[in-house]
Each structure stands twice: as C-alpha cells, then as structure tokens.
Amino acid sequence: MWKDSETKIDFLDFGYLKESILDIIRNKDLSPSSIGVYGNWGSGKSSLMQMCIDDLSNKENILCVKFNGWLFEGYEDTKTAFIGTILDKINESKSPTGNALSLLKRLYKNTDKLKLAGMGIKYGIDFLVTGGVGTLADITMNSVLSKLKDKATEIDSSDIENFLKDEFRSEELRKDIKSFQNDFKELLSETKIEKLVVFVDELDRCNPDTILETLEAIRLFLFTKNTSFVIGADERHVIYSVRKKYSEIEGNQIDIGKEYLEKMIQYPIRIPQLSSREVEFYILCLFLQIELTSEEFDLFNKYIIDAKKKDFFNFELTFENLNNEMPEIANKSRETISLAKQLSSVLSTGLNGNPRHCKRFLNSLAMREKMSISREIKMERKILAKLMLLEYFKADFFKKLSKLQSYEKGKPSALCLIEENKWEEAEELKLWKDDPWINNWMEIEPHISDVDLRPYFYFSRESLTSQLNIGQYRLSNTAEKVLSDLLSGADSQRNAALKLSEDINDSEASLILEKLSDKILTETNIEINIFRSLLEWGASKELLFTNTISCLNELPGNKINFSMIPRIKSFMDKTLKIQEVTDIVKRWEKENPKLEPAIKKILER
C-alpha cells in the first residue's frame, strides 16, 4: 500500500513545473515574489512543493519554511500562527545572537500584540479585560505593569481597558505593522538569509476565513525583499472565499474573487490533468516501487527518464521495449504493465487524472488482496481491478451483479449473455444495454463470465452496504459543495451546482447521484426539490443516465405525486431515454391510479 501524502519521487513527471517555480525563486529581480501552485484537491500540489523544498534546502543561505494553516485552524489566530511559524524557523535554524536576537524578540512581542489586537476586534475589549479568552495575562500583563508601575493606587480592570484601547488605536497598529516590516527585513540581513521561501500548503482543507487571513498575513507583514511565497491551492476555493467575504461591486462586471487572486499571486502555475499515458506510468511506478528491489527500481526509473528525453511525445512503455533493455525487470513487470494499461484509460477520465484518487483506488485494491491472502482465497488482480472499476463508477450495476452472482454460485448467466452481446435475453441487466460506459467496460480484458465471482464480491461486502461505496473516498471541496447545494433544495443553489458539473470527475458525479438516490429511497415522503435535484443532476452527464433510471425504477408508485411527473418528462426529453422512462411511469400508474391523468398527459406529448 502507499502513504496518502506528498512524495519526493517524481512519478508525476513534474520536473518542468518544479524548474519553473525554482527559476522565479532564484531570480533576484523578481523578489519579492508570490507563486500560486494551482490544482484540484489531490492533484499533486504538496508533492510538487516538497520537490522544490528538497532542491532548495541544499542551498546555503536559503531558508525554506513550510506552513500548514489547517493544523492551526480553530486553535490560534491564523495571521500570528503564520508569522510565528516563520520566526520559529529562523530562531531554530540560525540561533540568532546580539542585534539579531533583539530583533527577533521584538518581532515576537509585536506578533503577540497583533494577536491580542485581533482578538480585541473579534470579541471586544471588554471581553479581553474580563479574561474571556484566557490570554491577556500571558501576552500583555508585563507591558501593562511596566506602563502603570508609577500609579499609586492598585491597578484595576479600567486601567487595563484604557491601556488596551491606547495600544489598539488604528494609528498605533499602523506604526506597529511598519515597525514589524522594518525589523523583519533587518532580521533577514542580520541572520544572513539571502532568500526566505515560505511554502503554504493544505489551503484546500481550510475554511474561507483561514485562507484569507493567511494571504493577508503575507500581504501585510512579510512581503519584503528576498522573500518568496509558494501557495498551493485550488484557485476556485480561494476565489469562493473572497466572494463570500466581499460582495460584488454593483454596476461593474468585476469578479472580485478573481481580481483579488490575480493581485495577490504574481506567477500562477497550474498543474494539468494527467493524461491516460501519464496515469498508466504513475500506476506502474507505484506498483514497481514495491515489487522491484530498490536497485532495480532505480534502473527502471533511469530508463524511463532517458527514454522520455530521447522522444518525449512518441515514447510508450510496453513489455517489448522494456524487455529489449532490461529483460529481468521486464519479466518481473509483465503483469503490472498489463494492469496499468487496463486501468489507466478508465481512471484518467473517470477520476480526471487525479493522482490521489488513483492512489486511493490502488490502496483499496491492495487491501482486498491482503484480505484474500489472509483467508487463503485466490483472486486474480486484473479481475479484481475490473470489478472495482465497476464498483467505483457504476454502483447500481455492481450491486445488481452482486445479487445475481449470489444466486448462481458466482457465475451469473446474465453476465454471460451480455458478454455475447445478447442484451435482450439478459432481462436483469438489459437496462444498461445502451450505457456507453458499461459497453466499454465489457471490452476490458479479461472477460469474466466463466469466473467464480464469489471471492471478489465477498471482500466488497462493506462497500455494498455502505452509503459511501468508495471505502476511504473523500470528495473534493468542489464536489462537497455541489452535493450540499443539491441537497439544500433551493433553486439558486441547485443551479449553481449544475454549472459546476463539468468540474466534477465521473467517480464523484456518480457518488453525488448515489447520495441523492439514498436520500430519496430512504425517506417516507419524497421532497420534491430533492427529487428535482436528482433528475437534473442525473441528466447533467451521460454517465449518470442509467443510474438515475435505476433509482426511479426502485420507487413505488405510492411515493410519487402529481408535481413530480412534469420533472420526469423533462428528464426523459433531455436524456432521450423514452422507452425506459415510459415503462417506469406506466408501472407507477398501475400502482397509483391517481397519477393516470398526469402520466397520460406527458406520454401523449
């Protein structure tokens, strides 16, 4: 199995992106600089930044700092946590003395003051004075005592409140910020840091306030000569955060979120979606890293790098060309090369070439293999992989096949019929006859109608009974928002979700549909707005047509009311699934005669 975190080994062929980032950082004429590493959740932003850190960390007088705002979220003020992390790194790596140490202490003190000021703004001075946040004594009591030491009478809460109000005057804070900027610049000089590079990671996981506070910390306090900031984020998430805080400017066609980001990030670098060939290479590297010895894997990796340099666009890794160069490694890798080809085309499109999603798919596959070994049950990896593709992308078909194989000792006759292209005879599966995804899946080797499928479905039992059929799957931020908007039932949110359908990969789109289906199938009374969300989301991608019809087919007529029928008509027109929908509504009519006028009306049209 593989760790679900960044890697230092470039399986993603990110070398050209890394060099672009390093060129900007090294160029003194571009300092200070802000670089945006943009990509979807799981696209490899953290790995790319880690590769840059590894390269820069070997250079004298370059200090790299990594900040993860998600770790501090909810526990500490983001701005001061960010600044404190940088100061801590300078203190740890440079052990400053003399003037440098004095500057560092002053910067720490200013940071504490800024932290308290932020709390004062957020909670109010009176809340601080009464000890509501429990930090006043730690941060400022020494300053209060020194300022008020000549006061003859005992210090009371009003003295502290007046002191805080004086300290937090806007002109006083502006002076502190300017002082901070000057001290920070001087500290870099005193500690002989020629270049400070701050890598900001995991912004995708943070809430909108944390994202903006992190960016504001860069802009207000630390954006000075000889600094570079590399910010990894899904740019859509940052834009959404800005829009949420700042309303659009009326009377102007200005996208405030996009404008803010463009001003904040000088050099955007976007991670592209992996192609089928790149996914194939990525899968192959992950497996071979485990299956080969470290020496063998190094030789294999060098062979790939050299071959790509010679003919990047035409190079293709096959067993034959690998066998010509290193036959021993080729013989060990034969099955893995075949498996990578089997999976790559489906995962590259279905998962939008997302490395993290690909890795999670492979981890699920590896876990099931280990389970079977512990049970001393033999499973073929390529058969398991083929069935797991079905489980990920066509859950309804997978569940139907599971029921059939359980009745027929692991060899469903309907599967044999459709492998022979006798769809009309396969009564239980013919609903999927015109589903292009299923037809493509049927062509993937190996054919499985003669295989006893019981072991493969036995180890997938948990996912068959789980609402979230992809064991450890985490929806991206965009997909989570789409699901939330569709479940809200509000027209405006539904429309916003539908506009994002092209940004959602096939696996997540299917999972969103499944969640909507579960909501509808488990409720006693169907909410019309959720029903509408199901139909409109189900009509947004061809991949979803059949699964939506499968959900409708499970609904009894007594759960349907008049207002739902026009929505059914709209879905039927968009998807052109005339016969399938007609069969369902005619059954509803028999089960609920009250629907007859509405159903007759849509069928006459």
Q: Dihedral (C-alpha) 360, 361, 362, 363: value to the nearest 10 degrees?
A: 50
Q: What three-state secondary structure class fits 201?
A: strand
Which single residue is written with the structure tokens 């983001």? 78
Would you state the pLDDT for residue 128?
41
Would you state the pLDDT for residue 125?
41
CA neighbor of 167 nearest in space, from 182, 184, 147, 151: 147
Greatest extent of the chain over all pairs of C-alpha atoms, in Å: 100
Question: What does the pLDDT average to over 339-361?
Answer: 88
Cβ–Cβ < 8 Å for 212, 245: yes
CA atoms of 497 and 494, how far apart (whole Å) = 5
Q: Is the pLDDT of residue 477 over 60?
A: yes
Place 314 in a pLDDT band, splitting at 50, 70 and 90. confident
Distances (CA, A) of 289 to 283, 297, 368: 10, 6, 19
Lowest-confidence pick of 70-79, 136-145, 235-244, 381-390 = 136-145
Token pair recorded at residue 502: 């092209």
Higher pLDDT, 353 or 493: 493
pLDDT tens digits for 533-591?
999 999 999 989 999 999 999 999 999 988 899 899 899 999 999 989 999 999 999 99
For CA atoms 559, 562, 565, 567, give the dihedral sign. Answer: negative
Strands (E) in 181-251, as ranges, are 195-201, 227-233
CA atoms of 275 and 253, how far apart (whole Å) = 35
Place 131 in a pLDDT band, splitting at 50, 70 and 90. very low
CA atoms of 452 and 112, how far apart (whole Å) = 67
Mean pLDDT of the chain: 83
User: Would you tell me how many other CB atoms lie within 10 Å of the CB of residue 150?
Assistant: 5
- Rg over CA atoms, the chain: 30
pLDDT tens digits for 75-116?
667 888 888 999 999 999 999 999 999 999 989 888 877 666
User: Would you tell me how many other CB atoms lie within 10 Å of the CB of residue 177?
Assistant: 14
Would you state the pLDDT for residue 141?
45
Higher pLDDT, 142 or 587: 587
DSSP string, 483-543: HHHHHH--HHHHHHHHHTGGGS-HHHHHHHHHHHHHHHHH-SS--HHHHHHHHHHHTSSGG
CA atoms of 224 and 30, how far apart (whole Å) = 12
Q: Is the pLDDT of residue 222 over 90?
A: no
DSSP string, 55-86: HHTTSTTEEEEEEEHHHHTTTS-HHHHHHHHH
CA neighbor of 480 nearest in space, from 466, 468, 490: 468
- Render the burial of 206-219: b for 16+ CB within 10 Å, e for the rest: beeebbbbbbebbe
Cβ–Cβ < 8 Å for 234, 39: yes
pLDDT tens digits for 50-61?
999 999 988 878
Q: Is the pLDDT of residue 479 over 70?
A: yes
Q: Is the pLDDT of residue 251 over 80?
A: no
Question: What does the pLDDT average to over 252-262?
Answer: 76
Higher pLDDT, 162 or 385: 385
Q: Is the pLDDT of residue 159 over 80?
A: no
Question: What does the pLDDT average to over 222-238?
Answer: 86
CA atoms of 394 and 400, how far apart (whole Å) = 10
Would you state the pLDDT for residue 153?
54
Q: What three-state secondary structure class fits 202?
A: coil
User: Would you tell me how many other CB atoms lie within 10 Å of the CB of residue 581?
Assistant: 22
For CA atoms 187, 189, 192, 196, give the dihedral sign. Answer: positive
List CB contacts of 155: < 8 A, sequence separation 6 or more.
Answer: 144, 145, 148
Higher pLDDT, 258 or 373: 373
Would you state the pLDDT for residue 16?
92
Q: Is the pLDDT of residue 428 over 50?
A: yes
Place 489 in a pLDDT band, splitting at 50, 70 and 90. confident
List CB contacts of 34: < 8 A, sequence separation 6 or more.
Answer: 218, 223, 228, 229, 231, 264, 265, 266, 267
Question: What does the pLDDT average to over 518-524?
Answer: 87
Q: How many DSSP H helices and E strands does the chain contain?
A: 31, 5
Would you state the pLDDT for residue 419?
92
pLDDT tens digits for 289-302?
999 999 999 999 89
Question: What does the pLDDT average to over 407-429?
Answer: 91
Lowest-confidence pick of 184-198, 249-263, 384-398, 418-432 = 249-263
Q: Is the pLDDT of residue 27 over 90?
A: yes
Q: Is the pLDDT of residue 238 over 70?
A: yes
Q: Is the pLDDT of residue 25 over 60?
A: yes
Place 134 in a pLDDT band, splitting at 50, 70 and 90. very low
Question: What does the pLDDT average to over 346-368?
Answer: 88
Would you state the pLDDT for residue 368?
92
CA atoms of 346 and 570, how far apart (whole Å) = 30
List CB contacts of 351: < 8 A, sequence separation 6 or more.
Answer: 357, 358, 361, 505, 506, 507
Would you state the pLDDT for residue 221?
66
Q: Is the pLDDT of residue 14 over 70?
A: yes
Q: Is the pLDDT of residue 70 over 70?
A: yes
Token pair recorded at residue 115: 């932290």
CA neighbor of 274 nearest in space, from 286, 261, 262: 286
Token pair recorded at residue 574: 């968009």
pLDDT tens digits for 431-475?
898 888 999 999 998 999 999 999 999 988 766 444 334 434 567
Strand order in the sheet with 195-201: 62-68, 195-201, 227-233, 33-38, 267-270
Which single residue is written with the structure tokens 């599967």? 415
